[in-house]
Amino acid sequence: MMDRIAGLGRLGIAIIASFGRSGQFLFGVLAGVPRPATGFPLLIKQLYAVGVLSLAIVVVSGLFIGMVLGLQGYTILSDYGSESAIGQMIALTLVRELGPVVTALLFAGRAGSALTAEIGLMKATEQLSSMEMMGVDPLRRVVAPRLWAGFLAMPVLAMIFSVVGIWGGMLVGVEWLGVFEGSFWGNMQSSVDFVDDVLNGFIKSVVFGFVCAWIAVYQGYDCVPTSAGISSATTKTVVYSSLAVLGLDFVLTAVMFGDF
């Protein structure tokens, strides 16, 4: 019995130590701002790998989610005779919530796990060590560009998601189900506020992007340098990122959209 409690205590301490390490790690990454000449091409390369290559999954998901929102929304609203409110329903749902959150979850699954696996593999094949021995700081050269790329790419992906979703919803609502196009856009415009909705959604996606990218690169950097270790780290990235995004979403929504 005492062993179990001691084990639990050890686990708790290990978790806190891990938080501490990841904080130190983050500080090391942010403090080592790369020189513009060398850092910028690295950033571009990572933006491509993280952002552009995630576009496919984001666009397809956005389209389908938007279309489903259109379908479901129409069914529900037609009970109240308010089908013309479908535009604002889709837009608000996407811009405030689904855009940032779903994009972040997709990002964690696709780009986050790829980042973790890549950095973990570099650690396991001693590439990071050899970089250190050559006098190059791997945090600056390998980790920082990837962190910044995730941080910059996420908001872009979230906005593209929202736009594609709204367009998908329009396809279903206006073209297929016959909602009047003018009222679709008109109601949307009168109820979506740029600062309160679009900008808040944007802020959310920036925060999510930062957190997902941080978790992904940290798990890769901190993993046990074996193939089992890498796969475990990749799983952890996806799980922790998803939980963090959903938890933060609640906090941010309460702060931004609550009335207190």
Residues that bind other proteins (CB under 8 A): 38, 41, 44-45, 47-48, 51-52, 55, 80-82, 85, 91, 95, 122, 125-127, 129-130, 132-137, 141, 153, 155-157, 159-160, 162-163, 166, 185, 188-190, 192-194, 197-198, 202
Residue closer to other proteins (CB basis): 24 or 189: 189
> Residues, the chain, total?
260
Got the DSSP string for 2-53? HHHHHHHHHHHHHHHHHHHHHHHHHHHHHHSPPPHHHHHHHHHHHHHHHTGG
User: Which of residues 189 and 235 has its CB atom nearest to other proteins in the complex?
Assistant: 189
User: What does the alpha-carbon distance between residue 148 and residue 39 come to, in Å, rounded to a whole number?
Assistant: 11
| CB 104, CB 158: distance < 8 Å | yes
> Token digits for 136?
């190059």
CA distance 257 to 260: 9
Q: Which of 98, 125, 47 is nearest to 245 (CA)?
A: 98
CB-nearer residue toward other proteins: 65 or 91: 91
**Shortest distance in whole angstroms from residue 243 CB to other proteins:** 26
For other proteins, the closer of residues 97 and 137 by Cβ is: 137
**Shortest distance, CB of residue 67 to other proteins, whole angstroms?**
17
CB 223 to other proteins: min, Å: 17
Residue 93 vs 242, nearer CB to other proteins: 93
Nearer to other proteins, 194 or 260 (CB): 194
| Alpha-carbon dihedral sign for residues 216, 221, 224, 227 | positive
Say which residue the tokens 């922790």 belong to: 240
Residues whose CB falls within 8 Å of the CB of residue 142, separated by 6 or more in sequence, listed in order? 119, 122, 128, 131
> CB of residue 174 vs other proteins: minimum separation in angstroms?
14
